[in-house]
Structure 1
């Protein structure tokens, strides 16, 4: 069945917001990118009734310059607070470096319903990262800071060859594609590394329900990134899903449907668990929600 459309995502400077039920999901895209790379997942979540918000983060998103990473966190906190003022529950979903931003945000706002980490990047250590990558942070403190830009190259984060060709053509025509920018400025990379280091520190203090989805062949961030969180996080409800037919951009690649379906199932189960906790063991689950959870579970078993 075709999913209902959300607001247009054609321009990299476009934020989007889709009104749904009382559970809002704040979606944080990757470094120097835009909500465009979260389009499929956003449509799926909206189709399942969630309120979805994917903002432009000043100083972090494409076309907004570069600010210190502390201001990225402050701006993300403001977006969270705006949703929390209107909706009963707010969950946080981060893709790539957006996952590191989500980790810092949830430490600032521990009342968040749940946390979803997609292709979490705490270090650029994937198999396609050039050997000289570790020198770039040092280069930030040289005149190269104002001239050098890291250029994305094949496979552009996707295993799907047809999509990869489409992305290559898009990047030849412009500086942007549906999986992100063609180049990233050195100051942005430096701030991303600072953010990642900060995100690593307080993982054990995070107790929110957490879903981690990562490709075992991620060319940008190796499985060591999510394992750092898996081994340390304080969550009692932790679900981990490893993908074997995708690269870094799992929201666009071959298994994007699995990513979307598992995210929905996790968020609804987190709702049900919170309801059970709030009522001393009596889950607050409507008949419609219970029926939908059974349907999603059945689909999951069928595709396992």
Structure 2
């Protein structure tokens, strides 16, 4: 096994999983998930993508997709099956990738982000799209702030200290440039226009209280994608960074289970997997209903 802040690769069986981290970040976001999946037998690869990952010269989103496609093709040449799993903007990139490579076994979408519309996004966020076309384009950087995508307060404090010291942490960068955000918006527009053509088995895991990407993001994909085998799981004790937060074990376990079920379904020809909604969502909906009755 080889692991570094630059890339992660774990040799396993003939089912490889390509892991795509979030915008301007690094494979460190996916370290726990990669290790867990490898312990379950999968080959895992969390690469650095030129023009997309932290430390590389920023490029248009087409370059991101080309880089991800190259990594997919490298795995496909060596392994029987390749699935794609993305986090945040990486999930949007994963959808664009399987649209280009429909032979992918399946796609897992973790904290899918097509629009930054969570409860912690500042009101002026929409102005950044206009700022991109101004002199601010090369000077302004959007700064991450509390809660840093984490409901776990101890981990949040650790991340805050790391960002103050190094401008980077295991859950991502302290700032993101306007060009990167602009290209992420272009990628999201591409996904919205083409998601209805995607037929790959699909897993969606999203936190109900995601402060960065509201549930409207995964609901749009769940209602638009043409997958026969679609599973949706809602979390109620995490924020955006679900691969690091309180329910990271659930995320890893459910991802591994889905990948094996997808593999088994394709072998047996049984693609009648029924959509799954987690108990967390049912519980939260009951809580909201109770609050509504009290207010009424």
TM-score, L = length of structure 2: 0.90
Paired residue for 1:157? Answer: 149
Does 2:168 correspond to 1:173?
Answer: no
Cα distance in 2, alignment partners of residues 253 and 58 from structure 1: 27
Question: What SS class does the counterpart of residue 24 from structure 1 fall into?
Answer: strand
Paired residue for 1:86? Answer: 78
Does 2:119 correspond to 1:119?
Answer: no
- Residue 72 of structure 1 deviates from its aligned partner by 0.5
Cα distance in 2, alignment partners of residues 233 and 257 from structure 1: 27
Out of 1, 12, 24, which is 1:20 matched to?
Answer: 12
Cα distance in 1, alignment partners of residues 193 and 7 from structure 2: 30
Does 2:198 correspond to 1:206?
Answer: yes
Paired residue for 2:31? Answer: 39
Does 2:208 correspond to 1:216?
Answer: yes
Cα distance in 2, alignment partners of residues 231 and 192 from structure 1: 22
- Residue 247 of structure 1 deviates from its aligned partner by 0.1
Does 2:35 correspond to 1:7?
Answer: no
Question: What SS class does the counterpart of residue 3 from structure 2 fall into?
Answer: coil
Out of 55, 61, 68, which is 1:69 matched to?
Answer: 61
Cα distance in 2, alignment partners of residues 37 and 128 from structure 1: 20
- Residue 17 of structure 1 deviates from its aligned partner by 1.1
Question: What SS class does the counterpart of residue 83 from structure 2 fall into?
Answer: strand
Alpha-carbon contact 2:21-2:86 (below 8 Å) kept: yes
Paired residue for 1:275? Answer: 267
Cα distance in 2, alignment partners of residues 138 and 113 from structure 1: 39
TM-score, L = length of structure 1: 0.88
Cα distance in 1, alignment partners of residues 134 and 164 from structure 2: 29
CA RMSD of aligned residues (A): 1.2
Question: What SS class does the counterpart of residue 226 from structure 2 fall into?
Answer: coil
Cα distance in 2, alignment partners of residues 198 and 38 from structure 1: 25
Unaligned runs of 5+ in 2: 271-278, 284-296
Cα distance in 1, alignment partners of residues 163 and 224 from structure 2: 38
- Residue 262 of structure 1 deviates from its aligned partner by 0.3
Alpha-carbon contact 2:3-2:9 (below 8 Å) kept: no
Cα distance in 2, alignment partners of residues 65 and 134 from structure 1: 25
| CA shift digits 1:79-135 (9 cap, x unpaired) | 000000000000000000001100110010000000000000000000000000001
Cα distance in 1, alignment partners of residues 181 and 226 from structure 2: 29
Out of 26, 32, 40, which is 1:48 matched to?
Answer: 40
Does 2:244 correspond to 1:247?
Answer: no
Paired residue for 1:290? Answer: none
Cα distance in 2, alignment partners of residues 227 and 239 from structure 1: 12
Paired residue for 1:293? Answer: none
Question: What SS class does the counterpart of residue 38 from structure 2 fall into?
Answer: helix
Q: Write the mapping of 1:89-104 to structure 2, written as runs, cut at 5 A.
A: 89-104=81-96
- Residue 8 of structure 1 deviates from its aligned partner by 3.0
Alpha-carbon contact 2:83-2:105 (below 8 Å) kept: yes
Cα distance in 1, alignment partners of residues 202 and 138 from structure 2: 38
Does 2:220 correspond to 1:228?
Answer: yes
Alpha-carbon contact 2:8-2:31 (below 8 Å) kept: no
Cα distance in 2, alignment partners of residues 161 and 170 from structure 1: 14
